[in-house]
Structure 1
Amino acid sequence: MPSIFSRIVAGELPAYKVAEDEHHLAFLDITPLVEGHTLVIPKKEVDYIFDLPPAELAALHQFAQRVAKGVKAAVPCKRIGVAVIGLEVPHAHIHLIPMNQVSDMNFANPKIKVPEERMKELAAAIAAKVPGADGSPAAKTADKPLESKAERETAASNVAKTADASPADASLEQLRQLTEGLYFVSESDAPLTVVSYQAPSGALDAKELLKLLNQPADTPVQEQELTYFLRNHTADDGVLGNVDLANRYKALQMFLKQELEDVKVYRIGKGPQLEAYALGKTSGGKLAGFKTTLVET
């Protein structure tokens, strides 16, 4: 099973790209410690960075050096911190982190949430500042430092041979691919089913959601953060007991957080059996995500 990063390289998952050459790619971390937190990877999938041949390891760091100069030029900071952890994703990568104090590099710090428009601004600003391999100001970045949601969804639609589909349809097709064969483990195993609804005109609160799902108005609704809801499934040593499956859940989580606005999980009903809906707004204004069943006794 390809890593999340390999799927980004292949164009199967979106990313806020800031620089690219034949063998390397750099993009913004979507769960950053600070604004401008960037990941640098070799396109070739290698789990442990020090398993790279010496020449490839050196080339990766040379590429990271150019990216770091771009990050520092675009994001106000004292230094660019460098870290290699290697436990989060089984694909070698370097963290470049704008820092003003040592604590900015503490991975135990809560991750910040950066709005999509700000991520676009950061990606474009960094891409414009990354020097080329010869030291000149212009870098060889991706053809576009960052594609819009609509562009990515249209591309996905074309790949799926649904060129006449709307952006929302393209998102749903990608969701179906990402959730295919996935089960949520509670006290039973329930499949993830892709869902889509017409979004209410206002905010999606408990009252509007129950109306949308044709549930009684007094049905209990509990909200959860997506990352918390999936925490045991995205962990390499989690309930799935399978790193490849954990990586698929990480890819799903990344897609939902990046492609949908204001994604939340809604737990509906009373135990022992509950329905859970992970929902967010598409660029077309619809609600999309997945639902599953939880059994908790």
Structure 2
Amino acid sequence: MSKSIFSRIVSGELPAYKVAEDADHLAFLDITPLVEGHTLVIPKREVDYIFDLPPAELAALHQFAQRVAQAVREAVPCKRIGVAVIGLEVPHAHIHLIPMNRVSDMNFANPKIKVAEARMKELAAAISAKLPPEGETGAKGQATEPAPDSKAARETSSAKMPPSAATAAPASDAATDQLQAMTKGLFYMSESDAPLEAVSYAAPEGELTDAALLKLLGQPAGAPVETKELTVFLRNHTADNGVLGNVDLANRYKALQMFMKQELQDTKVYRVGEGPQIQAFALGKTEDGKLAGFKTVLTET
């Protein structure tokens, strides 16, 4: 009997955009998805019909799928994760997890979308970064943030951030709430590793000139402002072999970067002031016109 396509993925004969794996289960992105983030969850043991699985194995599969669903919901903006078991296309039991904003997103008669390879890799990394530890699931599908396993991350709490005269708006909307969760425990490596702090500011009036930006942020008038792309600003933190030396931690920065590029408009990083300490604000516009993102401090001597 020939192995199923999914069994060949399990054995490594075929590639896949993997998002989660344990001893008995595997989750990976569907390469012909209904929507971005469409994920398949399978038992590694090949069984054609899902309800032929012994009760304990069926329960374990769904528990694994729950963890993956929470990660998908954290990484891919949606109202909830739809669940489907079809079982006719591949003779290997599997669960579809589909980010959905409307009932029609679950219609398998819809045309499949095409997602570029780079985007698939980005999505897989973002979902993987949000996977809650085994046995830890949060309320309402929110995954518990794992503590980054690095010396620099453990020392983040001791990093000092100079006070700013600006008063950020309370993080009350979905975008800023998500930013608070995603920046928790993250830091920016410079000569002093300062934490990333989620911020939200009221919508500026008129054009966002340097003068208007400085006023909004509570920075001194006339302070120098330098603009950078977010991907350039975070490039050393998102690289798997970068300065962090921790792939899982790098994936969290990738997820943050992807969220800001996808959910905020005109995202930029503003470096304000001159050394040795420079305040940095990564900001983009929310749907209601606010500026949201994160701030940190760079020490350059």
TM-score, normalising length from structure 2? 0.50
- Alignment match, 1:278: 282
How many angstroms does 1:11 deviate by?
Answer: 1.0
How many angstroms does 1:219 deviate by?
Answer: 0.5
- Alignment match, 2:237: 233
**Which structure 2 residues correspond to residues 55-94 of structure 1 after superposition, within 5 A?**
70-71=112-113
- d(CA) in 2 for partners of 1:212, 1:82: 38
How many angstroms does 1:234 deviate by?
Answer: 0.7
Q: Deviations over 1:65-105 (max 9, x none)?
A: x999744xxxxxxxx898699976766x9xxxxxxxxxxxx
- d(CA) in 2 for partners of 1:54, 1:85: 28
- Alignment match, 2:75: 13
Cα RMSD (Å)? 4.2
The answer to whether the 8 Å contact 2:276/2:300 transfers is yes
- d(CA) in 1 for partners of 2:171, 2:85: 31
SS of 1:12's equivalent? helix
- d(CA) in 2 for partners of 1:176, 1:250: 15
**Which structure 2 residues correspond to residues 138-149 of structure 1 after superposition, within 5 A?**
none
- Alignment match, 2:293: 289
The answer to whether the 8 Å contact 1:223/1:266 transfers is yes
Count residues with an aligned counterpart.
185
- d(CA) in 2 for partners of 1:282, 1:82: 26
Q: List gaps (5 residues or longer) in structure 1.
A: 25-52, 60-65, 72-79, 94-157, 161-165
- Alignment match, 1:252: 256
Q: List gaps (5 residues or longer) in structure 2.
A: 1-18, 21-28, 30-36, 38-67, 97-107, 128-139, 143-169
How many angstroms does 1:224 deviate by?
Answer: 0.5
**Aligned AA (1:14):** V
**Which structure 2 residues correspond to residues 40-189 of structure 1 after superposition, within 5 A?**
70-71=112-113, 169-189=173-193
- d(CA) in 1 for partners of 2:109, 2:239: 29
- d(CA) in 1 for partners of 2:212, 2:233: 22
How many angstroms does 1:13 deviate by?
Answer: 2.4
Match of 2:215 among 200, 211, 218: 211
The answer to whether the 8 Å contact 1:167/1:283 transfers is no
Q: Aligned pair in 2 of structure 1 residues 213, 287: CA closer, same or farther (>3 Å)? A: same
- Alignment match, 1:107: none
The answer to whether the 8 Å contact 2:198/2:294 transfers is yes
Does residue 222 (structure 1) correspond to residue 284 (structure 2)? The answer is: no
Identical-residue share of aligned pairs (%):
52
How many angstroms does 1:214 deviate by?
Answer: 2.4
How many angstroms does 1:182 deviate by?
Answer: 0.5
TM-score, normalising length from structure 1? 0.51
- d(CA) in 2 for partners of 1:211, 1:83: 42
The answer to whether the 8 Å contact 1:210/1:219 transfers is yes
How many angstroms does 1:290 deviate by?
Answer: 0.6
**Aligned AA (2:298):** L
Q: Deviations over 1:154-209 (max 9, x none)?
A: xxxx878xxxxx99522221111101111110111000011111121223221111
- d(CA) in 2 for partners of 1:185, 1:293: 9
